[in-house]
Structure formats: structure tokens, C-alpha cells
Chains A and B, each alone.
Chain A
Amino acid sequence: MSAEQLIGNWKLVSWQVVTGDETKDLFGTKPKGYMILTREGRAMTVTTAEARTPGESEPERSALHRSMLAYTGKYRIEGNEFITTVDASWNEGWNGSEQRRHFRLDGDKLFVESAPAPSIVSPGKVDFRRIVWEREK
């Protein structure tokens, strides 16, 4: 798989957490998201949950922060994985981390999965994220 095929603009189709047999739409059934992968090797994405409520109180701002993802970094391809070294992020804890994602292209769709890891959503279990993108027209 070459990096060439990943370059371009991608629109989010679904964002799911998979725990065993259970699949959950963590950001709702109609989340929004865009991702750009540039020829020069930068990945950048913004994803937001369905039905977010604007607000300026502390709980509202906290909820807005919880219901989104936004990060960028240089990416590299290793086989069927793309790895982004994060250098700016909505969550400062992601800065400096390597986000490793398995990917598979099928026509206009890009299927992305994170490595299985101890679940934050379901403590004691292992889960992974399954994210589907389609090439933006």
C-alpha cells in the first residue's frame, strides 16, 4: 500500500468503539469529521460528535471538549499502518505521542482501526476504534 493513495481530503462516515462483540457509536450515529493527508506528509483531523450544544459555562465547555478530537502531525507509512507523530492537539496529552492506525482502502472508503488497548469506556475490557472515511468529492 502506498502513501500516494492516502493523500487528499477525507470525510467521516462513522466513528465506533469496538469491545468484543459490541460496537458503539461513541460520537453518535451522525458524527462529523474531516481529515487531510498532504503529499508533504502532514495529517490533520477534526472530528465532532452529533448534536453538540454551544455554551460558555465550565460544564458546557468541558462537554464540548469531550465530544471532539482535533490533532495534527507528520505521518509515515509502515506497511498497512500509518503513524502520526502529534505536534498540535485539542488534548495536550496527545502532543508528542505516536498515533498508530491500521488502514485499508476499498474504493472511495478508507477503513482505519486503532490497536486494541485497555478500554477507558469499559474498564477491565479491551477495545479499539474503528473509523470509516470516504474521499471528499
Chain B
Amino acid sequence: MGSGSEALVGTWRLVSCFMEDVETKERKPVWGEHPNGFIVLSAGGRWIVIQTAEGRKAPQTDEDRAAAFKSMLAYSGKYRIEGNKIVINVDIAGDETWNGTEQVRYYRIDGDRLHIEAAPQPYANFGGKVMRGILIWMRE
């Protein structure tokens, strides 16, 4: 692991999240103005993230549960640092299709802020569109 990994270890709280349509370059706060989320990067090399959209409800029906599932992201895996990239080998995910994938995140730390850009990929929750996540996290 590179020397950068030490600065990443800890807990980060989500500040903002925009999704950019790679084709049109249009950016939208698809998780709302006040999304909720945390990343933990452990000293032992594991990443876990849980992210949820603004305004979710406690689910009662199947319809609610489907909506709840659509408005969240949760996955974990061992991570490694390669230059300005965090590479996560996903071994568990809310979205089963992420299992076994390598998630690549470009990162930059600026004071207590962690800027993350995801490599473009299709998102089932956005109709299969190729999107790029642009996120800001704050050290907890």
C-alpha cells in the first residue's frame, strides 16, 4: 500500500453526491440535496460504504422495499491504493452484480475533505445509464 493509505484510514461522512451522465455531462444531485452516508476505511484494509438518498421512508410494502433498495448503496471489500486511485475488490454488495468487481475511485484529500470520483459505469438504479459519481466526504 502506498503512503497515501494512512491518510484515508478512518470514518468519512457524506457531504454531497452528484451523478454525471457520461454522455451528456449533465450533473444531478440524484440522491437529494442532503444524502446520508458513511465510509469506513479500516487499518486492516477493508472498505465499507453505506449511502442513502434524502427523504426515504421506513418500508412497509413490497413497493416501499423496492423503492428503499433503489435509493441506497451498500458494499464492502478489501481496498488497495494505487497512486490517486482506491481500488476495492467487492466481496459483498446490496447489488449482487457488484460482487467480484473492482470498484475504482479517484481520490484527493483536501484538509478534512475527501473528494471522490468514481470511474464511469452503468447503474441499474439509473436505468442502466453510464454514470460517474462525484462525491465529497468529510472526516468524522
Binding site for B on A (CB under 8 A): 8-9, 32-34, 36, 38, 40, 42, 44-48, 52-54, 56, 58-59, 61-62, 64-66, 68, 70-72, 87-93, 136
Contacts and interface: CB of A to CB of B under 8 A. Distances in A.
A8 to B, nearest CB: 6
B42 A72 contact: no
A61 B50 contact: no
A72 B38 contact: yes
B15 interface: no
Given A38-B40, A42-B140, A44-B40, A33 B65 contact: no
Counting chain B CB atoms within 10 Å of each CB, which of A56, A61, A66, A136 scores highest? A61
Contacts of A34: 46, 48, 76, 91-92
Given A9-B42, A91-B68, A93-B59, 17 more contacts: A9-B44, A9-B45, A34-B48, A34-B91, A40-B11, A42-B40, A45-B48, A46-B74, A48-B93, A48-B96, A56-B124, A58-B66, A70-B72, A72-B50, A88-B52, A90-B68, A90-B74
A89 B70 contact: no
A71 B94 CA distance: 12
A20 B48 CA distance: 34
A62 B92 contact: no
B10 A65 contact: no
B117 interface: no
A10 B95 CA distance: 21
Contacts of A56: 124
Size category of the binding interface on chain B: 35 or more
B35 to A, nearest CB: 10
A46 B94 contact: yes
Contact of A136 (B46, B52, B65): B46
B31 interface: no
Given A8-B42, A42-B11, A44-B50, A93 B62 contact: no
Contacts of A88: 36-38, 50-52
A33 B45 CA distance: 16
A91 B58 contact: yes
B48 A44 contact: yes
B28 interface: no
Contacts of A89: 50, 52
